[in-house]
Amino acid sequence: MSHTDQSRQVRLEQLGAYPFARLKTLLAGRHPNPELPHIDAGAGEPRLPLPDFVAGTLAAHLDGFSRYPATTGNDALREAIAAWLMRRYGLARIDPATQVLSANGTREALFAIAHALINPEASKKPYALMPNPMYQIYLGAAITAGAKPFFMPCTSANAFEPDLDAVPAEVWADTAIVYVCSPSNPTGWIADHAYFTRLIELADRHDFHIVSDECYSEIYWQQAPVGLLQVAESLGRTDYARCLVMNSLSKRSALPGLRSGLIAGDDSLIARFAKLRSYTGPATPLPLQHVAAAAWSDESHVEQHLMLYRQSLKAFFAAFGRGEPPFGSFFIWLPVANDEAFAVAAYEQQAITLLPGSYLAADDATDHNPGAGYVRIALVDGPDKAAELGRRLKAMSGLS
Ligand SMILES: Cc1ncc(COP(=O)(O)O)c(C=O)c1O
């Protein structure tokens, strides 16, 4: 076995079990209260009505199943994505041919980007920075790419903003990429203009790339979140240098099974990523690319979904009787005394599946897990179930 094979195996072994596998183990042999209908508030899987253009668009393009799809995405899809980015963020120009790629769901793209942009041996820049707690893909990507993860703490004391001041100068100097997630899964924090501006300034000063995961951009309580490309352009950075964003139809359009998302930004990073992707081949089938183009081109279904998410948040908090909706996303990041014990009790007493917060975070340098005092509740089934969740959780002990 070569040295490279060995280190790749060691990296894989460093990966812990995925949060839902851990949850399955935690709940194995336990039973939800049989007197109540089960509510799955664990997975962030929107279960809203299918947008009405899906069936017709799919039927009109079935012949596409007999052709290989381009990994980059076909022209119609990349043009629809560019048009959406320009409309949504007021961008003057984004070139669908050089600044946009299709993703086969953003999960694979958020993972693969680390492998395209980090080369710790060659660049002597081993660090991948990420929020803590975080969408676990960033961590898996960093580890398997041979990078050193560095965790930016997101605590209630700081309104869950990933703390850029917690990064030591020697880490900034050796940073290859920074993952940012706005609106954040799981905390609901939203980056503002000043935060993205500071991140871009840091990227220039320390020569790193920013990967902004904006999958929840269309799900917000009051104000539509700003995007990284929007802030870059407002700073006169019309080439979006060092900036990449990812966004998804899974949340905005409630189409998680479509497996379609976007990658956009700096053309040199797009070209580098496209080269890797031409080998790994995460292409979305052509008929589904047509559905995706239709979904990026229609806002009425997104507005309907947003209304349902807001009604769900309102219904949850009215029934629960305390707390505030998150700025963005459909997750409630609820403080509890012991996250695993609470998740078990919610399942056994109230027939609710939810996720212990510690499964979404990593131990920091002092062996503290910043997710440990929280559970994540996904409001993905509409207002009635959200109200029912609020009522059942209110009845529980172990809330803090
Ligand atoms: C923060 C975040 N980013 C990315 C994704 C990936 O979504 P998809 O692969 O469906 O586009 C998810 C899914 O839950 C997420 O929560």
| 59 in any annotated domain | no
Q: Is 251 in the pocket of ligand 1 (CB under 6 A)?
A: no
Q: Is 102 in the pocket of ligand 1 (CB under 6 A)?
A: no
Q: What angle do CA 371, 184, 192 make, to 5 degrees?
A: 125
Decide: residue 90, CB within 10 A, 0-12 exposed, 13-18 middle, 19+ buried.
exposed
Q: Is 106 in the pocket of ligand 1 (CB under 6 A)?
A: yes
Which amino acid, residue 287?
P
For residue 129, report the distance from its CA to the centre of ligand 1, in Å.
18
Q: Is 328 in the pocket of ligand 1 (CB under 6 A)?
A: no
| Whole-number pLDDT of residue 304 | 95
In SS3 terms, the chain reads as CCHHHHHHHHHHHHCCCCHHHHHHHHHCCCCCCCCCCCEECCCCCCCCCCCCHHHHHHHHCHHHHHCCCCCCCCHHHHHHHHHHHHHHHCCCCCCCCCCEEEECCHHHHHHHHHHHHCCHHHHCCCEEEEEECCCCHHHHHHHHCCCEEEEEECCHHHCCCCCHHHCCHHHHHCEEEEEEECCCCCCCCCCCHHHHHHHHHHHHHHCCEEEEECCCCCCECCCCCCCHHHHHHHCCCCCCCCEEEEEEHHHHCCCHHHCCEEEEECHHHHHHHHHHHHHHCCCCCHHHHHHHHHHHCCCHHHHHHHHHHHHHHHHHHHHHCCCCCCCECCEEEEEECCHHHHHHHHHHHHCEECEEHHHHCCCCCCCCCCCCCEEEEECCCCHHHHHHHHHHHHCCCCEC
Q: For tokens 């629809």, what's the residue?
A: 80
Nearest ligand 1 atom to the CA of 256 is 10
| Whole-number pLDDT of residue 1 | 47
CATH for 205: 3.40.640.10
For residue 269, report the distance from its CA to the centre of ligand 1, in Å.
21
For residue 170, report the distance from its CA to the centre of ligand 1, in Å.
31
Q: Is 185 in the pocket of ligand 1 (CB under 6 A)?
A: yes
| 400 in any annotated domain | no
Q: Is residue 40 predicted with pLDDT exceeding 70?
A: yes
For residue 378, report the distance from its CA to the centre of ligand 1, in Å.
13
How does pLDDT run across 49-88, given as a tens digit for each residue?
899 999 999 999 999 999 999 999 999 999 999 999 999 9
Tell me: do 351 and 240 sit in the same domain.
no
The residue to mutate among 250, 255, 360, having the most atoms of ligand 1 within 8 angstroms of its beta carbon, is: 250
Q: Is 131 in the pocket of ligand 1 (CB under 6 A)?
A: no
Total of domains in the chain: 2
For residue 192, report the distance from its CA to the centre of ligand 1, in Å.
21
How long, in residues, is the chain? 400
Tell me: do 278 and 305 sit in the same domain.
no
Q: Is 182 in the pocket of ligand 1 (CB under 6 A)?
A: no
| 207 in any annotated domain | yes
**Given 298, 317, 338, which residue is the final one in a domain?**
298
**Beta-sheet pairing, 355-356 with 374-378:** antiparallel
CATH for 315: 3.90.1150.10
Tell me: do 293 and 314 sit in the same domain.
no
Range of the domain at 80: 67-298
Tell me if 202 sits within 8 A of 164, measured CB to CB.
Answer: yes
How does pLDDT run across 213-239, given as a tens digit for each residue?
999 999 999 999 999 999 999 999 999
Terminal CA-CA length for the chain: 51
- Mean pLDDT computed over every residue of the chain: 95
Tell me: do 335 and 283 sit in the same domain.
no
Tell me if 188 sits within 8 A of 378, measured CB to CB.
Answer: no
- What mean pLDDT do residues 373-387 have? 96
Q: Is 227 in the pocket of ligand 1 (CB under 6 A)?
A: no
- What mean pLDDT do residues 138-160 have? 95
Tell me: do 89 and 134 sit in the same domain.
yes
How does pLDDT run across 317-374, given as a tens digit for each residue?
999 999 999 999 999 999 999 999 999 999 999 999 999 999 999 998 889 999 999 9
Q: Is 256 in the pocket of ligand 1 (CB under 6 A)?
A: yes
For 205, the token pair is 């000063």
Nearest ligand 1 atom to the CA of 249 is 11
Q: Is 186 in the pocket of ligand 1 (CB under 6 A)?
A: no
The residue to mutate among 215, 252, 296, 359, having the most atoms of ligand 1 within 8 angstroms of its beta carbon, is: 215
**Given 282, 298, 314, which residue is the final one in a domain?**
298
Q: Is 248 in the pocket of ligand 1 (CB under 6 A)?
A: yes
